[in-house]
């Protein structure tokens, strides 16, 4: 993990990041059939969580939307940049366990904006760009 940046805020010593794209379907069944005849997407949501160690601490909730840029180092030494567009902060946590230091901050983000396009660059979610 090289860095996690939301707009102009760089999170100090990022140690973990996760993001998940969820899809909600509406299922329509044809007359006399038990299986879905039609499955249509009615909603999508993208949520990300970043865990980090040092200040600056988490941002307040509902900070103006900005791109969340995640930079990691690949096994071959190159860098990979993943951008989650239009992410807004939605809360934070502070976690400390005396048996497993150090303490962690966690910042949660949600996508705010149009998701008319799937936004998934590859099937394994390694290059998500939502515009």
Distance of CA 46 to the CA centre of its chain: 6
Does the pLDDT value for residue 130 go beyond 60? no
Look at residue 117 and tell me whether its pLDDT is greater than 60: no
Q: What is the sign, positive or negative, of the torsion defined by CA atoms of 71, 73, 75, 80?
A: positive
| Residue reference for tokens 């865990």 | 51
pLDDT, residue 116, reads: 58
In this prediction, what percent of the chain has a pLDDT beyond 90? 37
88, 64 in Cβ contact below 8 A?
yes
Does the model's pTM come out above 0.85? no
pLDDT, the chain, mean: 84
């Amino acid at each position: 993990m090289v860095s996690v940046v939301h707009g102009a805020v760089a999170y100090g010593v990022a140690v973990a990041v996760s993001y998940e794209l969820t899809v909600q379907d509406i299922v329509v069944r044809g007359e006399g059939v038990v299986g879905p005849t039609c499955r249509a997407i009615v909603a999508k949501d993208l949520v990300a969580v970043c865990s980090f160690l040092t200040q600056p601490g988490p941002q307040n909730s509902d900070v103006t939307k900005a791109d969340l840029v995640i930079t990691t180092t690949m096994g071959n030494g190159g860098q990979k940049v993943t951008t989650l567009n239009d992410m807004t902060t939605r809360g934070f946590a502070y976690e400390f366990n005396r048996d497993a230091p150090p303490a962690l901050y966690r910042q949660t983000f949600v996508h705010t904006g149009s998701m008319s396009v799937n936004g998934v660059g590859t099937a394994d979610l390694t290059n998500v760009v939502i515009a």
